[in-house]
Structure 1
Amino acid sequence: MHFIQGTDYECWVVIENGPLAITITDANGESCVKAPKDYTSNDYKEAEKNSRAISLLQSGISESETNRIAGCKTAKQILDSLALAHEGTVQVKKQRIDLLMQQYESFRMHEDEPIKSMSSRFSNITNELSNLGRQFETEDIVRKILRSLTKKWR
């Protein structure tokens, strides 16, 4: 997301919202899709945004993901396809959050576990929850880590 926004923010807008329709107002004052033969140079620049957005998305995915997006015609379709594949449906997302919250709540440092390893395990849980939209206050995380330490560390 940040790579695309930093490269071309308008491409990110096209990815989130879909391609812009190049329109013209007809004699009746109604808006209709403009034929490519009638495009101006600015129209072509707008039309290129979807292609540039697709290119940016394709450059960031693995070869194994290429088949998943092969039938997509717009950058928005690619994003939706990848989101569904990796995040799942709303129901799957909620179940994943429930599972991770259970791991968060029952988190404990293992005996003889290095602090770095424990911190890494805990960060993986909180980062996954954050990616799914479940945020924690810093003080809550610190308190949770302190409660999770073994007697040796207390």
Structure 2
Amino acid sequence: MASDTFVQPAIPRFDGHYDHWSMLMENFLRSKDYWPVVVSGVAEPAEGVVLTDVQKMELEALKLKDLKAKNYFFQAIDRSILETILCKDTAKHIWDSMKKKYQGTARAKRQQLQALRSDFEMLRMKSGESVTDYFSRTMAIINKMRIHGDKTEDVLIVEKILRSLTPKFNFVVCSIEEANDVDSLSIDELQSSLLVHEQKINQQVKEEQALKALSETHFTQSRVDRGRGRGRG
């Protein structure tokens, strides 16, 4: 009898792409219930304060979580980078140091976001590009924008996609706009509708190509038959 096995999630390794890594690492630490000690640290009692037995146990539990979170950071971050972090006493120190080193200044983030917004505005579907590929390109930019703090609403993304499709989708766009309230249309619903229409268009093209090939074959055969007839005459 086969038994279900639980696969432990892999520790996200820092590969130089801080925004992506920090998102994965935060989710990983949240799943372990270590995120609070990473964000807030472990507050030591003020001098002269006497803790109760319960408070001592709670403090020791937090310190243990902090040690475990640090251990994950030590496994996630390369030694050469860890050596540049002067204070590694707590998980919070390591996290804050990585954030300062690799997230960049507020000004740099604004510049990156402006560049991404420009890419988004210039985005157009390429001739021959599939709906799936175009959505992948679009959402890759959107996700990067959101990592940098952008709050673009889904309705604006839907409208942008509808405006930037190739001419072969013009009729489809009109149909979608007439049949749906664009304000309430999700990105996934839009992609689903476009995929259905794309399949119909592709099927129509295949049928037209098959019909054209059949007509050309019939025309060629007719010429051959007429040539044979003249030869016998």
- Cα 1:137–1:49 change in 2 (3 A) is same
- SS of the aligned residue for 2:169 comes to coil
Instruction: Please name the residue that 1:102 is paired with.
Output: 118
Whether 1:12 aligns to 2:28 is: no
| Kept in 2: contact 1:54–1:75 (CA 8 A) | yes
How far is 1:51 from its partner? Answer: 1.1
Larger Rg: 2
Which of 28, 36, 39 is residue 3 of structure 1 equivalent to?
Answer: 28
Unpaired stretches in structure 2, ≥5 consecutive residues: 1-25, 171-233
Instruction: Please name the residue that 1:75 is paired with.
Output: 91
Q: Supply the distance in 1 between the matched residues of 2:115 and 2:134 (Cα, whole angstroms).
A: 19
CA-atom RMSD in angstroms? 2.7
Report the TM-score, using the length of structure 1 for normalisation: 0.76
How far is 1:93 from its partner? Answer: 0.6
Post-superposition Cα deviations, 1:7-43, rounded to whole Å, max 9, x if no partner, equal 11xx21221122321x2562xxxx49x9xxxx95443
Which gives a bigger RCO, structure 1 or 2 (Cα 8 Å, sep 6+)? 1
Describe how 1:1-40 pairs up with structure 2 within 5 A: 1-8=26-33, 11-21=34-44, 23=45, 26=48, 31=49, 40=56
Moved over 6 A (4+): none
Instruction: Please name the residue that 1:91 is paired with.
Output: 107
| Kept in 2: contact 1:68–1:81 (CA 8 A) | no
Instruction: Please name the residue that 1:43 is paired with.
Output: 59
Instruction: Please name the residue that 2:70 is paired with.
Output: 54
Q: Supply the distance in 2 between the matched residues of 1:74 and 1:57 (Cα, whole angstroms).
A: 10
- Cα 1:140–1:63 change in 2 (3 A) is farther
How far is 1:55 from its partner? Answer: 2.0
Q: Percent identity?
A: 29
Output the amino acid matched with 1:91: R
Identify which range, 135-144 or 53-62, moves more after superposition: 53-62
- Cα 1:64–1:153 change in 2 (3 A) is farther
Report the TM-score, using the length of structure 2 for normalisation: 0.53
| Kept in 2: contact 1:14–1:20 (CA 8 A) | no
Q: Supply the distance in 2 between the matched residues of 1:18 and 1:96 (Cα, whole angstroms).
A: 30
Q: Supply the distance in 2 between the matched residues of 1:75 and 1:146 (Cα, whole angstroms).
A: 46
| Kept in 1: contact 2:40–2:92 (CA 8 A) | yes
Output the amino acid matched with 2:151: Q
Unpaired stretches in structure 1, ≥5 consecutive residues: none
Which is richer in helix?
2
- Cα 1:129–1:19 change in 2 (3 A) is same
- SS of the aligned residue for 2:167 comes to coil
Post-superposition Cα deviations, 1:105-129, rounded to whole Å, max 9, x if no partner, equal 1111112222221111111110001
